Structures are given as structure tokens and as C-alpha cells.
Amino acid sequence: MTGIIIISLLLNVVCIYFIYLLWKKIDENHKNAESTDHIEELLELFSQEMRYENEQLYKLISDLNSKNKHDRQEIHEKPIKKGIESINNNTINEENNEEDDEVHIESKSTPVTNKVIILAKQGYNAEQIAKMMNRGKGEVELLLKFYS
């Protein structure tokens, strides 16, 4: 009979141990659920921020796109007038053809391009010009090839 009592006590201890393990597992799952909820909240906030930033970026791109369309319209209108003026100047001043070409090139180019051309005519090479103007060497070489 004492053997049965000892076996019963031993089984009760084993059951209490398994109940303790089960309780720890449930507690761990609750902690994981809380951290999962926290992570979900963080992801939701992050997605809202990204949505807001994307909307701002879209507005900026739209504004730049409309500005570029407006600038393109102006650019397309101006060369026609300048082209007629340069044709008239070329027929009148055939002797100064080279100077008219330079004026025509400079009128279409940006101030950066003008400065690159002027520095090249002063004898600087592409690498020196790039360093002076904080531009890439390839960009300067391309400008020189295009406008020379």
C-alpha cells in the first residue's frame, strides 16, 4: 500500500511540474503577443509616414513636371525667333561667321556651359575645368565635345 502512495505522490509531482511548464509557456506566448502588437503598431506608423512622404514626393514631382512642360514650351518658342535672327545675321555678316556661331551657341547654352567653353578657349583641359567648377570630368568633356 505504501508503494501505491509513493507512486501517487510521484505522479502528483510530475503533474505539478507539467502544469508549471504549461504556465510558463502560456506566459511566454502572452509576452510574444504583446511584442507582436507593438511591432504591428510600429509598422503601421512607419507605413503612414512612408505614405505621407510619398504623397509629398508625388506633389514635388508633379510641380517639377508642370514647370518643365512650361519651360519646354518657352524653349520651343524662343529658338524659332533666335533662329530667324541668326539667319538674318549670317546673311548680313558672312565674314564674321565664326563669331556668329559662338554667339548662337552661347545664347542656347547655360551659364555653366558658357563658362566651360570660355575656360577651354583659355587653354584649360577638361580635368582642370572640372576641378574649378566642381563638376564631373565626363560632364565637362561632353560639353566640350558638344559645343566645340
- State whether 32 and 91 are in the same domain: yes
User: Are the CB atoms for 99 and 106 separated by under 8 Å?
Assistant: no
- State whether 50 and 81 are in the same domain: yes
Q: What is the pLDDT of residue 23?
A: 92
- State whether 90 and 114 are in the same domain: no
Q: What is the pLDDT of residue 104?
A: 46
Q: What is the pLDDT of residue 18?
A: 93
- State whether 46 and 78 are in the same domain: yes
Q: Higher model confidence: residue 85 or residue 26?
A: 26
Burial (CB count <10 Å: 0-12, 13-18, 19+), residue 126: buried
**Which domain range does residue 40 map to?**
28-95
Condensed to tens digits (0 to 9), the pLDDT of residues 63-99 reads: 888 888 777 776 655 544 454 455 445 444 544 444 4
Among candidates 18, 14, 16, 12, which has minimal Cα distance to 4?
Answer: 12
Grid coordinates standing for 90?
A: 549670317
Specify if 127 maps to a domain. yes
Q: What is the pLDDT of residue 110?
A: 77
Q: Residue 120 above 80 pLDDT?
A: yes
- State whether 36 and 78 are in the same domain: yes
- State whether 84 and 33 are in the same domain: yes
Specify if 101 maps to a domain. no
